[in-house]
Amino acid sequence: MKLLRHGPVGQERPGLVDAEGIIRDLSSIVADIDPTAVTPEGLASIAAVDPATLPAMAADTRLGPCVGRPGKFICIGLNFADHAAESNMPIPEEPVVFMKATSALSGPNDPIIKPRGSTKLDWEVELAFVVGKECRYVDEAEAAAAIAGYCVCNDVSERAFQMQSSQWDKGKGCDSFGPLGPWLVTADEVGDTSDLHMWLEVNGHRYQDGSTQTMIFKPAFILAYLSRFFSLQPGDVVTTGTPPGVGLGQNPQVWLNEGDRVSLGIAGLGEQHQIVVSA
């Protein structure tokens, strides 16, 4: 299933995409695509519905972040061997973990807000997953079974903020720095995530053109690893790193500015399209 949230900011309603690509409203079935809906029981209740019986929505309806009210927004850095190389950093021996503020979440096509004082605004196409079961000291097999689904994330980054005193969170959690969606695609539909094509363009120029094939730590390993340090709950979002081609890695370096257009996507998970605006 391809699940989504549609409607004005702060008033999003649950929905899904049917086999013909039509957005169907799920408000009569679940209150939201949220921590309750992404559990095995919640997903089963949605799967039991005939999409043809649900109201159709306009194709141009705004899409919000594909999961609502996650408790945590966890990120993994330097998780692609070729991205670590372009960053002139060694391949990590264990996952590099940092957090984004949940207030950074935005819709897949909402504007990227350039913060005041920003001088090095950057992009990162990433594969994210949403947790569907509580996880605490789980092994990889249990972790794989606990992933509700996958989605596209743009891990927007302000490198000057990030590198200042090596405080990554300052440059990762600004408002609009976590576009998520367009859809949450359930794990059973995605299947194998070991070789998904990932791409990102700025103003029509393709900077990132990679694959999850070069990912160092795979999603199930990441979830099992994280569960050693804190519990994870349904609805938590984990984004898993980016392939090479970020602005930081260009020679000369390239940064986003007001008016720039960013497009990105992952095979089977949809696309995002954003315009950079000033705060």
State the pairing for strand pair 237-239/73-77: parallel
102 in a domain, yes or no? yes
CA distance 204 to 197: 18
118 in a domain, yes or no? yes
CA distance 125 to 85: 17
3 in a domain, yes or no? no
CA distance 9 to 103: 12
Centre a 10 Å sphere on the Cβ of residue 19 and count the other Cβ atoms it contains: 8
pLDDT of residue 105: 98
Q: Identify the CA nearest to 219 among candidates 272, 157, 141.
A: 141
3-state secondary structure of 44: helix
Q: Is 204 exposed, middle or buried (0-12, 13-18, 19+ CB in 10 A)?
A: exposed
Contact 131, 148 (CB under 8 A): yes
44 in a domain, yes or no? no
pLDDT of residue 165: 67
Domain count, the chain: 1
9 in a domain, yes or no? no
CATH of the domain at 137: 3.90.850.10
Q: Identify the CA nearest to 150 among candidates 186, 108, 105, 124.
A: 186
Alpha-carbon radius of gyration of the chain: 18
21 in a domain, yes or no? no
pLDDT of residue 252: 96
pLDDT of residue 163: 85
258 in a domain, yes or no? yes
Q: What is the pLDDT along the chain (279 residues), one digit of tens a residue?
A: 999 999 999 999 999 999 999 999 999 999 999 999 999 999 999 999 999 999 999 999 999 999 999 999 999 998 998 887 787 778 889 999 999 999 999 999 999 999 999 999 999 999 999 999 999 999 999 999 999 999 999 999 999 999 886 788 899 999 999 999 999 999 999 999 999 999 999 999 999 999 999 999 999 999 999 999 999 999 999 999 999 999 999 999 999 999 999 999 999 999 999 999 999
5 in a domain, yes or no? no
**Structural domain that includes position 230:** 68-278
